[in-house]
Amino acid sequence: MDEKALHSKLTASGVGGVGELDESAKDPFVVVEAGSLVAAMTFLRDDPDCRMEMCNCVTATERADAMELAYHVSSLSKHHSLTLKVSCPRPEGGDHDSWHPEVPSIAGVWSAANWHEREQWDLLGVKFTGHPDHRRILLPEEWIGHPLRKDFVYPTSAGEIPLELDAIPMYERDENAPAPESTSERKAGEPLTQPPAPFSSRPLASGGKTCEPDAPKEGDH
């Protein structure tokens, strides 16, 4: 099936909130409301004519007025694919610190989406409600901020690890010397990181599994 047929299937399925098919793009996409995302995805997976077995990727794009998520799903047995988009409008004055758009998680539909969604949370600060293991995936656990946001402030250090080009090497640091002048927007000495919370106290919705140890030992990385 081509995208048109898939779209008509989806609209006829009774899942609400499915928009028109945008064919102006090279890769036609369907805009879906956030509320009906899980229902639409479940239909696409389970319908015998659609049979979308694979979730290729979950990506997010920060626009001036919204956070736009794109889901690429495809069927290996039927040789077709579809792109779905969800748009989360930016509230008034919504910035890096205050605005974390919320989208229902599709990790229950395809478990492959689990890590994709964690990556979007890590880099762009999109919250996925109902995600089984909502943690950072690439950056350190104690990292502050989401670096692919437009208003992300570049850090000078991550913990004791210097990140600036003109930083003093760790083994040449003099504890008594005054703090060096920084060229970055963040002031020198201002910490990027906060001490990580103990692993046991981190919330894991719906009992997601973790490979972390129960309690961090003193001096353990």
Partner 1 sequence: MGLLNNTLPDIAPVKGIDAAVNWGRKSSLWPMTFGIACCAIEMMAVYAATFDLDRYGAGVPRATPRQSDLIIVPGTVNAKMAVRVRRLYDQMSEPRYVIAMGACVCGGGPYVKWGYNTVKGVHKIIPVDIFVPGCPPRPEALMDGILKLREKISRQAVFARRAETARLMDGRQA
Instruction: Confirm or reject binding of residue 94 to partner 1 (CB under 8 A).
Output: no
- Pair 152, 145: CB distance under 8 Å: yes
Count residues binding partner 1 (CB under 8 A): 20
Among 12, 25, 64, 170, binds partner 1 (CB under 8 A): 170
Q: Provide the 10 A C-beta neighbour count for residue 163.
A: 13
Stretch in the footprint of partner 1 (CB under 8 A) among 27-35, 66-74, 162-170, 199-207: 162-170
Instruction: Confirm or reject binding of residue 163 to partner 1 (CB under 8 A).
Output: yes
CA distance 46 to 23: 25
Touching partner 1, residues 131-150 (CB under 8 A): 138-140, 143, 147
Among 27, 61, 102, 154, binds partner 1 (CB under 8 A): 154
Query: Please, which residue, 91 or 140, has the CB nearer to partner 1?
Result: 140
**Tokens coding 205:** 């919705």
Among 28, 130, 132, 159, binds partner 1 (CB under 8 A): 159
CA distances from 43 to 7, 12, 47, 118 (A): 12, 11, 6, 23
Among 144, 167, 188, 204, binds partner 1 (CB under 8 A): 167
Query: Please, which residue, 19 or 162, has the CB nearer to partner 1?
Result: 162
Query: Please, which residue, 101 or 155, has the CB nearer to partner 1?
Result: 155
Stretch in the footprint of partner 1 (CB under 8 A) among 31-39, 73-81, 152-160, 199-207: 152-160
- C-alpha Rg value of the chain to the nearest Å: 21
> Which residues pair with residue 82 across a beta bridge?
73
**CB-side neighbour CA atoms (13 Å) of 123:** 13
Instruction: Confirm or reject binding of residue 152 to partner 1 (CB under 8 A).
Output: yes
Q: Provide the 10 A C-beta neighbour count for residue 83.
A: 20
Report the b/e string of 136-160 with b at 16+ CB within 10 A: eeeeeeebeebbebeeeeebbbbee
Residues that bind partner 1 (CB under 8 A): 138-140, 143, 147, 152, 154-155, 158-159, 161-165, 167, 169-171, 221
